[in-house]
Amino acid sequence: MKPTLDVLMSPKEAKAAVIAIKYSFNGDYLAVSYNNEYREADLTNPEERELSQREPSFVMIFVNRMSPKNPGLKLGSRDTYVKFMKLVLPLGDFVASASLRSKLAVTSCDFSDCDGYLQMSVQKINHDCVLDPATYTNAEDCFVIWDIANNLMVQNFEQLGNTKWPEWSMAPAINARYHGTEIDQDDSVKERELLFKELCFMSKVSRFSLLDAAICGSQQGKLYLFRF
């Protein structure tokens, strides 16, 4: 069977940019992360923007129409995947500032091997949908795991004891230092800021599970090979 370039589905759920796309391990779900709906006024007069009138960032989960996990949604649709669940993360539990929360979005995500959980990395990005190193000292990355079956954020991580993640793209979660970076034990404040920036600037990671090896790229254009 020859591959085709026919359009199978073309949903439009927001006016904002798509930041991340991920299929689940078994193909039951498709997760799409959308940025905030930035307006021109946000760029010209950011102090007077009306945050309440702007759609916040969110993740839309689509379910395979023929999957047993589909509870019966749009069975007559021609689309392969149909809209299943909209996740608007409770960022107020992590970040107090409403202005700062309006700049946060899910930049990467992974499904568990059973397709039951979705782990997400929430970061501060600018209107071009990229990390903004110049102003990143005011926000820490948030890591959230969502229970898809119950449509809830996981609070008790003991329930994830037997959960496996076939793919892992949480680059900012890598607690590692650049090769050759000296640790300044006499200046804890400077050391914490340096570690924080290095974590935030880790942009992409690719894992080769057979050798427990991975390669990570940074915002500075560098590549780092490491083992788990």
Lowest mean pLDDT among 9-23, 66-80, 102-116: 9-23
List C-alpha distances in Å: 88 to 74, 83, 136, 174, 209. 23, 15, 22, 25, 31
For residues 25 and 166, the answer to whether their CB atoms sit within 8 Å is yes
Q: How confident is the model at residue 173 (pLDDT cuts 50, 70, 90)?
A: low
pLDDT per position as a tens digit, 106-163 = 888 999 999 999 999 888 776 666 666 555 555 567 788 999 999 999 988 888 888 8
**Whole-structure pTM over 0.85, yes or no?**
no
* Position with higher pLDDT, 15 vs 40: 15
Give me the percent of the chain exceeding a pLDDT of 90.
Answer: 25
Nearest by Cα to 219 from 192, 193, 200: 200
Place of tokens 């102090």: 47
Residue 48's pLDDT is 47
List C-alpha distances in Å: 84 to 9, 29, 59, 75, 154. 15, 9, 11, 12, 19
- Which residues, in sequence order, are bridge partners of residue 208? 213
pLDDT per position as a tens digit, 175-188 = 555 555 555 667 66
Residues in the chain: 228
Residue 157's pLDDT is 85
Q: C-alpha angle with apex 33: 24 to 152, nearest 5 degrees?
A: 70
Whole-number CA gyration radius for the chain: 19
* Position with higher pLDDT, 16 vs 134: 16
Structure tokens at 78: 């021609």
Alpha helices in the chain (DSSP H): 40-44, 98-101, 188-201
pLDDT per position as a tens digit, 190-223 = 666 666 566 556 667 777 766 677 777 776 677 7
Three-state secondary structure call for residue 18: strand
Q: How confident is the model at residue 71 (pLDDT cuts 50, 70, 90)?
A: very high
Separation between Cα atoms, residue 18 and residue 36, nearest integer Å: 10
Residue 69's pLDDT is 92
* Position with higher pLDDT, 170 vs 30: 30
List C-alpha distances in Å: 15 to 8, 57, 87, 109, 125. 21, 11, 16, 21, 17
pLDDT per position as a tens digit, 33-68 = 998 766 555 555 555 455 545 667 899 999 999 999
Residue 2's pLDDT is 61
Residue 7's pLDDT is 61
Sequence spans of domains, the chain? 18-171, 174-228
